[in-house]
Amino acid sequence: MTSLTEFEITKRWPPVNADNIQLYSLPTPNGQKVSIALEEMELPYDPHLVNFANNDQETPEFLSLNPNNKIPAIIDPNGPGGQPIGLFESGAILIYLAEKSGKLLSADPAKRYETIQWLMFQMGGIGPMFGQLGYFVKFAGSEIEDPRPRQRYIDECARLLEVLDQRLEGREFIMDDYSIADIATFPWLGALVNFYKAGDLVGWDDFDNVPAYLERCTARPAAQRGRAIPARD
């Protein structure tokens, strides 16, 4: 594709500025990753709300960009070789934006892959497990009488938090400096304790490093802005 207008999704969510990155999202933990990254990297973008209450994620226009019907997704009109590129999966988007901006991902190969390692730790562990715990403590799963599924996710979330807590010993952030690994991780920590209200279940206050880490990350001005983008109706 050679222009934004060739992307079907732009018919439902027209660009405000055709030179800007187009963000299709909702301020959930996964959605916040990309809006926070865009704010941190100071990349110009147009945010478009994908409203789950209206099943926007199931529309043909959205599915044309992400057939997996999940947020976030982006189109960069100035992608590789100057050609537009559409992307979904928050981890892939974070790597792409970091490489585009030259920020929040070390150019040193060893540190770069270590950062990506911790990004994948979030993508494959913290995100899916915290989300499942949320289902069992806040949503329909709370009505399931069998305690074993709920306990399985409580135990696994506590284990993952212990891994992260150990990593943060003597560190302010997951790497030496704030990175896309932090942007991927801390929105899910906030969801666990503030939205799911599951802190007591996983022993949140017993961890030495994770609570203060969440406070450091959420205090960043770009994080405070990005956590509310796109604005909900």
Q: What is the pLDDT of residues 89-117, one digit of tens each?
A: 999 999 999 999 999 999 999 999 999 99
Residue 1 has pLDDT above 80, yes or no: no
89: left (phi over 0), alpha (psi -120 to 50) or beta: left
Query: What is the DSSP-derived secondary structure letter of residue 88?
Result: E
Average pLDDT for 146-161: 97
Question: What pLDDT is recorded for position 2?
Answer: 77
Query: DSSP per residue over 140-209, as a string?
Result: GGGG---SHHHHHHHHHHHHHHHHHHHHTTT-SSSSSS--HHHHHHHHHHHIIIIIS--HHHHTGGG-SS
Question: What pLDDT is recorded for position 117?
Answer: 98
Question: What pLDDT is recorded for position 118?
Answer: 98
Query: What is the DSSP-derived secondary structure letter of residue 93?
Result: H
Average pLDDT for 115-131: 98
pLDDT tier at 120 (50, 70, 90 boundaries)?
Answer: very high
Residue 3 has pLDDT above 90, yes or no: no
Q: Give residue 7's Cα distance to chain centre.
A: 23
Q: Which domains does the chain have, with CATH numbers?
A: 4-103 (3.40.30.10), 109-222 (1.20.1050.10)
Question: What pLDDT is recorded for position 72?
Answer: 98
Average pLDDT for 127-146: 95
Question: What pLDDT is recorded for position 164?
Answer: 98
pLDDT tier at 161 (50, 70, 90 boundaries)?
Answer: very high
Mean pLDDT value across the chain: 97
Q: How many CA atoms lie within 13 A of 96 on its CB side?
A: 19
120-154 burial code (b ≥16 CB/10 A, e <16): ebbbebbbebbbbbbbbbeeeeeeeeeeeebeebb
Residue 233 has pLDDT above 90, yes or no: no
| Chain segment 164-220, per-residue pLDDT in tens | 999 999 999 999 999 999 999 999 999 999 999 999 999 999 999 999 999 999 999
pLDDT tier at 25 (50, 70, 90 boundaries)?
Answer: very high
The CA R_g of the chain, rounded to the nearest whole Å, is 18
Closest CA to 97 of 80, 121, 118, 117: 80
